Every structure is written in structure tokens, then in C-alpha cells.
Structure 1
Amino acid sequence: MKVLISGASVAGPVLAYWLDRYGFETTVVERTPALRHGLGGHAVDLFGHATDVVQAMGLWDEILAARTMIEKLTIERSGAKPVHVDLGRLYAGMSDRHVEILRGELTRILSAADSSEYLFGDSITSLNDDGDGVDVTFEHNAPRRFDLVIGADGMHSNVRRLAFGPEESVRRHLGGYLAVYSTPNLFGLGTNTLTHQSVNRLVAMYGVRQTGQARAAFLFRTENELAYDYRDKDQQKALLAKEFRDYGWRVPQLLEHLEAADDFYFDAIAQITLDTWQRGRIGLVGDAGYCPAPAVGGGTSLAIATAYILAGELAVNGPDGLRSYETKVRPMVDRSRAIGPKVMGSIIPGGPATLRLLPWAASVVPKLPTPIQRFIWSQNAVGKALGSEPLPTYAPSPGSPATPIQ
């Protein structure tokens, strides 16, 4: 069976890896001219079922070696003493298998593990599903026919647009925005994180040990959704500069390096709310189908776990696996969707009371005994969404080095 996957970030390479192990003929098309790999992107967390999947892929040791190794967080606010948080104890209390890694590093590791055909610098222009297969045209490559097409191309999915309709009809804006880019390590951060919080805005910076640089992150709320082109980086940089030009603290020094940043990322903190993720022989996985919202929803771990399940269901049920996959992952997706609106209130303080309370809570939790921390995490919405039920087990093809999930 020939499968085309659009997107080579997280869900795409994981899906391609497992389909390859199950004997599928897999092609991955990626818009960028080369893999978004290396040391770019913001830091993401792997936990719950995502760690089970990458362990089964034999990648856990490599991912651990590439982790950020950030152990300390300092939270500053105007007119208040700094609050220090032991992130090492906090993460250990959450889980004995949690890792924070730069998204670019994760993409590099996942893609290197896969032997599928990759078409870089190209994009799908049309899809024609006739019931027996899908005829696909590309911007640059010759037209081809596939048995299945899967969109793993993120919140602004091209496959979703072509097969399910415009993004505006399925996007739920949660009222915030996230921006991330690299800067020189202006403040000697090492591998520590330094943040400044105010009502409706947050600025963070953390050291990148592999390069000696730092990463700056900005989160802010708005009453109305901003109008901008998600591919126009210059326009997005101007929006960010306007929002934070009067912020003070250390922001002016960070903004001095905004214009030159070549790894700038900006997007709305929004959800994708499709009711179904399959249409005939075309399906969606990860953020393309059910983005729980950048920065607040555990989307990277959700993408890894659901890509694994999609591959297994296709291996067992053929094209009908798109429907059984949807049934299997729906509880996980529904719980993940509930996370974003709640987390928005804690990650970006919405009022003075929250601004006072959250730093205190962040500093106290790591000091609790590990069993109590684990209980708190088990009751947390993120923990429930991505670890409350066991993953299905799918045996790999004979001779495969992959290990089934236990």
C-alpha cells in the first residue's frame, strides 16, 4: 500500500517510521527545502505515551542526550522578589520519563530514524479521491497516485485545507500568541530559564547549551484576534515589536536582535476543532487534525502517540484503519482539547491575583514528596490526557528492529 504523508516535523516522521516497519511504501512531502532540524525551534516536552513510542523506536537515549538540561527557573515580577523553581525536581515529580528538547532537535532525530522517500521543497496542490485511491499533483514533482494521503502538516495544514475546507471554520482562538527566536546569550543564562511575568504578558529566555546562544519567548493575550499572514515573518516581527516595545525589563535588549533572527516563530495559541479526521482515503494526524494549542496543550506528545496509533490501525485494517484510528484516539484528543483554555489562565496571568499566586505555587510543588507530586500530576489534565490509558500494541513486521509497545 502506497501512502503519502504531508509534513516532516513530528507526527509525519513517526507515522512514516511505523508504516515502514509494517511494510507500507511511504513517501513524505515537505514544503521546506531541507529538514527543519538542528537547534532551532522552541523547547517542547515529551511525556506520557510519547516516551513509550520513542523508546519503542529505539530513540530514547539519543533524545535524552539532546535534551535542554535546563534545571532552574527564575520568575521575576515588577515590585516583587524573584521566585526560584527547581525544574529538575519538578520534572522528576511529574514523571520518571519526562524530557524537554528543542523541537528542531526532535525533528532531526525522528526523521533520521526513518527510511521513507522524502520530497523536500515541494507541496501538494490538488487531491482527487476516487474511492480506490488518491491522485495527487505537486508544485514541482510529477503527479502520482497513492492508496492513502495523510496530512501531518501542522495547525495550518495544506491537506486539511484541500480536503476539509478553510482553516477559519475549524480554528478556535484561545486569546493569546506565542513568539520564539534565537538571540546571543546576553545575560549569562547558562542552561537556566529567566522569566518576567505581568498581567496578560510573559517574557522568557533560556540558554541553549549546544550553541552558547539563548532562546527568547514571548506570550501575550489580546481581546481580539490579530489579522496577519502566518507566512509573513516581517509582518509578525512588527506585531511582536509593537506589543512589547514599552514593556521594559530586559525586553529592549532582546528586541534589538529580533530583526536579524532567522529562526523566528510566531503563531496564535489556537485549537483545531474538526469533528472528524478522515474523509475517504484522506486522513489527518497531530496538529493538522486536532491541535490542542501551541505552548499550552501538550501537542507534541499527542502527535507522537496518535501517529503511532494511526500506523498500527492502518496495518491491521488497511484503509478502514482511518476510521478505527479515529475511534481509538478520540478520548485522548478530547481530553487534550480541554487543557488549553485552563492552562492559558496559568501560563499567562490574567489578573493580579493569579500573578501573585502562580510563582508561589510553582516554587512550592517541587518541594513536596515525590509520591504527592505524582498524585498531583495524575490528576492534572495534561497527565490524564496523555497517560491515563494504555497504548494499543501492534506487532511489527518480521525481522523489524522495532519493539512493540507494552
Structure 2
Amino acid sequence: MSKKGSARILVSGASVAGPVLAYWLTRHGFEVTVVERAPALRKTGGHAVDLFRPAMDISEKMGVLARLEERATGTERMTVHREGARRPARADLTKIFGAASGRHVEIMRDDLSEIYHDATRDDVEYVFGDSITAISPDGEVRFENAAPRRFDLVVGADGLHSNVRRLVFGEESRFSAFIGAYFGVLTLPAVPALDGELIMHVGAGRTAGMYGARHLGEARALFLFRSERELGHHHQDVPRQKELLRGAFGGMHPEVDRWLDELDRTPAFYFDSISQLRMDTWSRGRVTLVGDAGYSPGPAVGGSTSLAVVGAYVLAGELARAGGDHERAFPAYERAMAGHVRGSRAAALSAARTLIPTSRLGAWGLAQGARLVSALPAGPGRALLRLAAKSARLYNSMIVEDYPPSPAASGGRVGAR
């Protein structure tokens, strides 16, 4: 796998950005190790994520497009129950997705991680069950379990609560901006009647939904709710998180109450604030960040998965273009991604206002808007959605440069300047 004299790069995190970055780095001739705190690929019952056109194009270049489409959730219909309304609104999601992006797939996050990992496992060294404890300026890295090793570069691809970012840049609170909402996901037993349908309950300040996937023997319930202030929980305090969900959604609807009843039985649960990472730079010395670790626009609302895939591809390409010289590559990577990151932050704020309405009128607008877009012919529907959705405009207009492998990158070695 490695080439004599090739730069040695350590990537922390094996979810989405990490494996995508590892794939492209190896294609450019770098020697890559991925370290992951979990003992194996995470199967956390994560929610469905969207891949828009740029991420789909990159995935196609990786040769995994067929597997992505095979594992798509297959959600085609949406039923929206509005608090206080007797009749639900129904929408055709295939029209809405078609209007939002010319190329799109919805896929469970765990499935996506597995597909990207499988595309890299024969060429990349994966170390599971370990994490980084220290990174020295000269590239020596210490681990919880393994012996110290020296790398030319270190990349944090370890998510919103990045360990690498904490070690190199400081505590998360310095960079995290709470945007006024929380979300939770829990796994439910399979619901046979759910096939291809997303069921939503929408009210002022709170939205709950349930959906499945064609190949899963289970369903997911997703909860989003507003809060004027941060609620004082630790991201690993699961009992407190479940208590917060019950308090926010109890009594919304008998169906939602049934979902909440599964909180103490669910095999997988996730909860977090919806916060944005806002940093002036994602690089320091031999270390840089990619995906949510450096510029999360907000989980569940910001298109962060597509942004992570694009960021990983661009970072690998700029390192190759610079022949492994991080002092040139890291600033070029940040310049190339800056506009995409700013746009994603704005789109996330807009999406949060839409998905979690602030009033009963906003809840009515969400239900009626979905029904209207799905009822219109494709052309007018696409035009209406693009006027209303910043994220659709953002991802449809995102241009990503091509980075073909070059001899200089294949033989490059990072110098200690």
C-alpha cells in the first residue's frame, strides 16, 4: 500500500469524512492510518443523511454509487400531522427531492460509513479501539493504548466533539455556537405499514418524525425541538437526554407518546444540541480538521454529511497538488472550502426555522408547502422549492474542482519547515 518516501498521514475518525479522506489520500500516493475510538465500525442507530450532487459525484468516482443507491432508505411519501389540525397533509417526496437536487440519495449514516470503509479497507491501516492523547509539533503522536508513532500530518475527522480539535485548538466551547435547538434519534421496532413513508408531527417549537428503510428490520424516530437557552447536559449523559426529550414532546400526540415509550427499550439512542462550529482557521502546524470537526453547520439541519465528503476530497486534492507540503496545502484547502462552509451555515439556520417552526402559523406553512410542492408539476415545483430552500440552491451550485493524481503528489514527502 505505501510507497517509499511517501508522506505518513494519521486520520482520527472512521465515520464519513475519515474514510473518504483516506481513500483519496491513498489514490494520491500517501500512506494513511485511520484511528477510531470505537472498537469497530459504529452501529449507533444513527439517522438518515442526505448526499447531494457534489457528494454523489465524488462517491461515483470512488466506485460506490451502486451500493449507495442499493442502501437508499426508499422514503417516497410524507404524512404531516399538524398539532390542532384534524386532517394530515400528504406529500410526494420523490418530487420534493427531485426539485431540491438533480442528484440525491437519502441513506442511513451507519450504512454510509460502512460503504466508505469497505472502499478503503484493503489500502488503509485501520486501528480501532484507540484514540489520540497528545500530538507534538514534530509529529509524534501518543495514543491511549498503542505505542507512540511519528506522522508527517494529523487530520481530525472525528466529528462535532472532536478530540483532535480539543488537543490542538482548545475546548469546544470556544468555537461552538448554539443555534437554539436540540435533536434526538431512537431506534424503534419495525413498523410494517411504514414502508416508504415518513410520518411527521409538527407544532410550534417541536417536530417529531418516524421513518424506516427498505433493508432495515427497524425504524427511526427523530425529534427536534427549540430551546432559548442551552439545557445544561453533557453529550454523554443519556438519562438526562431522555428526560429532556420526554419533557419536550410528552402529550404532543398519542403516536408520539408511543415512540417516547420506547426510550427505555431502544437499542440505540442519540441526542445532541444543534450547534455550529465557527473557527477562523481549521489548521495549526501539521494538524488540520475536516468535516464536522472543523466546520459543522449544525447536525440534522445543515447538510453536514455532503459538506464532509466534499471537504475530505478537497483536502486530499490540495495536499496532492502541493506535493505533500502542508504549509501550502492547508491554506489552499481552507480557501477552497470557505464559501461552501459559509453557505452551509446560512442554509442550516434557514432549515432550522423551517423544520422546527416557531409558531402555529409556521407549522401550517410547513405542511402546506410540502403539499403544494409535491402537487405541482416538476418544473414549477422545482422553481418554488429553489426559491424557498437555501440548501437546495447551495448544493446545486457547489462547484468542486477535479484533483487527478500527479507524480509529484505520489512521491511527495512532507518537509519539516
Q: TM-score, normalised by structure 1?
A: 0.93
Alignment partners' CA distance in 2, 1:200 and 1:193: 19
**TM superposition shift of 1:371:** 3.0
Matches within 5 A, 1:212-227: 212-227=217-232
The equivalent position to 1:228 in structure 2, one of 206, 229, 233, is: 233
Separation in structure 1 between the aligned mates of residue 251 and residue 381 of structure 2, nearest angstrom: 39
Aligned to 1:401: none
Deviation at 1:366, TM superposition (A): 2.2
Structure 1 gaps, min length 5? 399-406
Aligned to 2:272: 267
User: Residues 298 and 382 of structure 1 are in contact (CA less than 8 Å); yes or no, is this contact kept in structure 2?
Assistant: yes
| Aligned partner (choices 269, 281, 286) of residue 281 of structure 1 | 286
The yes-or-no answer on 1:143 pairing with 2:148 is yes
Equivalent position amino acid for 2:10 in 1 = L
Q: Note if contact 1:93-1:366 (Cα within 8 Å) is conserved in structure 2.
A: no
What amino acid maps onto 2:273 in structure 1?
A
Distance, in Å, in 1 between the alignment partners of 2:148 and 2:185 is 37
Is contact 2:77-2:198 (8 Å) kept?
yes
- 1:9 matched to 2:25? The reply is no
What residue number does 1:244 align with?
249
Please state how far the C-alpha of 1:259 moved relative to its aligned partner.
1.3
Query: Is the 8 Å Cα contact of residues 49 and 305 (structure 2) preserved in structure 1?
Result: yes
Amino acid of the residue matched to residue 387 of structure 1? N
Segment of structure 1 superposing worse, 90-99 or 159-168:
90-99
Q: Distance in 2 between matches of 1:206 and 1:162?
A: 38
| 1:139-180 Cα distance to aligned partner (Å, 9 max, x none) | 011111110000011110011111111100111101111100
Aligned to 1:383: 392
Identity, % of aligned positions: 46
| Offset at residue 236 of structure 1 (A) | 1.6
Partner Cα distance (2:386, 2:397) in 1: 8
Q: Pick closer, same or farther for the CA change 1:123–1:42 going to 2, 3 Å.
A: same
| 1:304 maps onto 2:309 in alignment | yes
- The SS at the match of 1:312 is helix
- 1:95 correspondence with 2:104: no
Query: In the alignment, which residue of structure 1 is the partner of 2:131?
Result: 123
User: Residue 389 of structure 1: CA displacement?
Assistant: 4.0
How far residue 88 of structure 1 moved from its aligned partner, in angstroms, is: 1.1
Match of 2:39 among 5, 10, 33: 33
Could you tell me how far apart the structure 2 residues matched to 1:217 and 1:73 are? 14
Paired residue type of 2:76: E
SS of 2:320's partner is helix
Q: 8 Å contact 1:333–1:385 — kept in the other structure?
A: no
Q: Aligned partners of 1:105 and 1:397: how far apart in 2?
A: 32
Q: Structure 2 CA distance, aligned partners of 1:387 and 1:366?
A: 19
Deviations 1:308-342 (A, max 9, x none): 00000001112121111001110111111111221
Counterpart of 1:402 in structure 2 is: none
* Separation in structure 2 between the aligned mates of residue 394 and residue 260 of structure 1, nearest angstrom: 47
Rounded Cα–Cα distance in structure 1 between residues aligned with 2:366 and 2:244: 27
Normalising by structure 2, report the TM-score.
Answer: 0.91
Mapped pair 1:392 → 2:401: yes
Matches within 5 A, 1:3-402: 3-37=9-43, 40-80=45-85, 81-114=87-120, 115-130=123-138, 134-186=139-191, 188-317=193-322, 318=324, 319=326, 320-376=328-384, 378-379=386-387, 380-396=389-405
Deviation at 1:208, TM superposition (A): 2.9
Gapped regions of structure 2 (runs ≥ 5): 1-6, 408-417
Q: CA deviation at 1:187?
A: 7.3
1:333-375 CA-partner distances (Å, limit 9, x unpaired):
1111111221111101101211111110111112333233444
Structure 2 CA distance for aligned equivalents of residues 70 and 8 of structure 1: 27
Structure 1 position 30, deviation (Å)? 0.6
234-243 or 350-359: which moved more?
Answer: 234-243
> For 1:207 and 1:199, how far apart are their aligned partners in 2?
25
Corresponding pairs, count: 394
Between the aligned partners of 2:355 and 2:340, the Cα distance in structure 1 is 22
Q: Work out whether residues 302 and 386 of structure 1, in 8 Å CA contact, stay in contact via their aligned partners in 2.
A: no
Structure 1 pair 45/347, CA: closer, same or farther in 2 (3 Å)?
A: same
Cα distance in 2 for partners of 1:371, 1:280 equals 49
- 1:100 maps to a residue whose letter is E
Structure 1 CA distance, aligned partners of 2:385 and 2:281?
Answer: 30
Distance apart, 1:376 and its partner CA: 4.4
3-state SS in 2 of match to 1:8 = coil
Please state how far the C-alpha of 1:283 moved relative to its aligned partner.
0.1
Q: Is contact 1:40-1:105 (8 Å) kept?
A: no
Q: Which secondary structure state, in structure 1, belongs to the residue aligned with residue 366 of structure 2? A: helix
Structure 1 residue 272, shift from structure 2 partner:
0.3
CA distance in 2, matches of 1:373, 1:283: 41
Give the deviation of 1:297 after TM superposition. Answer: 0.7
SS at match of 1:188: helix
Partners of 2:47 and 2:108 within 8 A in 1: yes
Which amino acid is 2:265 matched to? A
Q: Which amino acid counterpart does residue 393 of structure 1 have in structure 2?
A: D
Q: CA deviation at 1:186?
A: 4.8
Name the Cα RMSD after superposition: 1.6
Deviations 1:194-248 (A, max 9, x none): 1111110111011232233211111111111011111222332222223223333
